[in-house]
Structure 1
Amino acid sequence: MFNSSQAVLLLAAALPLVMVMAGPLERRIYRSNPSTGLKFVAYGGNIVLLWAMAAAAVGVEGWGRLLQSPAPSKSWLWAPVVTKPVLAAAVGAYMLVALLPLFQSLRGPRWRRAYAAAYRRGFAEIAGMLPNTALERAAWALLSLTAGVCEELYFRGFLIRVLQERGPELPLAAALVVSSLIFGLGHLYQGAKGVLGTTIGGAGFGLLFLLTGSLIPGVVLHALIDLQIAYVLTPGREETAAIA
């Protein structure tokens, strides 16, 4: 018989499978030029699932432990005097590049239109995922904030710790790799390229978590990276006037 803590841990472990299994359905929806209502259903399903995952993670570990990186019994980096600053520089560069659409779009409409076109090319196979109306952008903003909080709580704060301290008791570096792979598979609806990109992104956020010792920087940056899509895709005054 499972006790209550074991049941919550089992639930927390099972929920990412729901993300993976839902991938083909999400991909089918986003490739079908969905209506705003259907898009809300897809966004809403993700929001509910992500908060369920975060709640299960908090139920197992508690807020305090999730917000702080696990302490390894020995250094998880080879030659940390050298590798730690190199990794920190690489993670910083990755985050800066990931936020370039926002920074560059702030320079003016021409830049924003260029990045909006780049987003639409990048998401061409699942174009229905992108928000096109003001209501869709508002829903996207809620989804982005949810992803920033919940995905970091679960995949970094919870999963890395669980893989290291429970069950397989992996070395911290291996726990980072496995959690990043699971994070990437959770984005199966984006296709092979999307899985690879989000796996790399997951590793970047995981390294940020382990190097800073705090989940907060990753939460903020993750939310901003997703939120910038709504900003970049918002028509400027001149585009709105042309449509009118």
Structure 2
Amino acid sequence: MAHLIVWSYCLGIPVISNAMLKRMKAHPSDKGKVRAYSVNYVINALILAFAFFNGVQFEYSSGKVSPWLWIPAAGLLIHFVGDIALDVYGVLRRPEFRRQVAEVYRERSYIQPTTRRQISMFYGVAIIVGIVEELFYRSYLPTYLQELGLPYWTAVITMMLLFGLGHFPQGWGAVVRSGVNGLMYLLLFALTGSLLLPIILHIFYDARIAWTSSIILKQKEAPLT
């Protein structure tokens, strides 16, 4: 049963999500978005229950970690924070940048939150996805892959690939960004010994979508509905 759940989550859900996004793009509706967000809640709640049932830990327990890993971790973290900071600054302080972002969001309005209710729901999605994906991909999956016989770093690379491919419905750019972010989250997990920081960073990264939508909606420079 565990094998079925793991590979369904890693490979099956992205395929289903891709089909759902195509259908939502062809037939956009507010009800469709609310339904998609609700399905996301349910799936991740089930995976969270699976994680706890299988004793997934918030603490790192895969052995001693070299302090030299702080070098790539710090580099990735600086890039991560800088990327978010530049986006926040642009949305708040640069009207032209905000208009460009609003245009992108309008093109993706079939899935992006466009009302106060949807924005609130998307914050909830960001929170549960941040928690569940970190528990599953950073804590459970590498250990699971090692139990299948993969060496540690092979398991890590496989985790990065699966995490990146899990975002394929959002495009190849999202696959690359997610794979790189996944490596950073894992390094921080190993170096700090806890999932707390990766979970917080992951939530902030995803919640940026809802926050940006709320700013654009408030400014009324480019209505999203």
Q: Same fold (TM over 0.5)?
A: yes
- In the alignment, is residue 47 of structure 1 matched against residue 32 of structure 2? no
TM-fit CA distance, 1:8: 3.8
Percent identity among equivalent residues?
Answer: 24
Q: Secondary structure at the match of 2:114?
A: coil
> Of 85, 97, 107, which residue of structure 1 is paired with 2:70?
85
TM-fit CA distance, 1:143: 0.6
Q: For residues 82-161 of structure 1, what are the structure 2 equivalents within 5 Å?
A: 83-100=68-85, 103-104=88-89, 109-111=92-94, 114-115=97-98, 117-118=100-101, 120-121=103-104, 126-161=108-143
Contact 2:99–2:221 (8 Å) recurs in 1: no
Q: For residues 175-214 of structure 1, what are the structure 2 equivalents within 5 Å?
A: 175-214=155-194
TM-fit CA distance, 1:148: 0.8
Q: Give, as a single letter, the amino acid of the residue that structure 2 aligns with 1:28.
A: K
> Of 1, 12, 15, which residue of structure 2 is paired with 1:21?
15
Runs of at least 5 residues in structure 1 that lack an aligned partner in the other structure: 1-6
TM-fit CA distance, 1:103: 4.6
> Of 215, 223, 227, which residue of structure 1 is paired with 2:195?
215
Runs of at least 5 residues in structure 2 that lack an aligned partner in the other structure: none
- In the alignment, is residue 32 of structure 1 matched against residue 14 of structure 2? no
Contact 1:91–1:207 (8 Å) recurs in 2: no
Q: What do the CA deviations read for 1:187-218 (whole angstroms, capped 9, x no partner)?
A: 12112222222122212212221222111101
Aligned partners of 1:42 and 1:174: how far apart in 2? 34
Aligned partners of 1:153 and 1:114: how far apart in 2? 35
Q: Secondary structure at the match of 1:67?
A: coil
Q: TM-score, normalised by structure 2?
A: 0.84
Contact 2:24–2:111 (8 Å) recurs in 1: yes
Match of 2:61 in 1: 70
Q: Give, as a single letter, the amino acid of the residue that structure 1 aligns with 2:43.
A: L
Q: What do the CA deviations read for 1:122-146 (whole angstroms, capped 9, x no partner)?
A: x687442211111110111111111
| Aligned pairs, number | 223
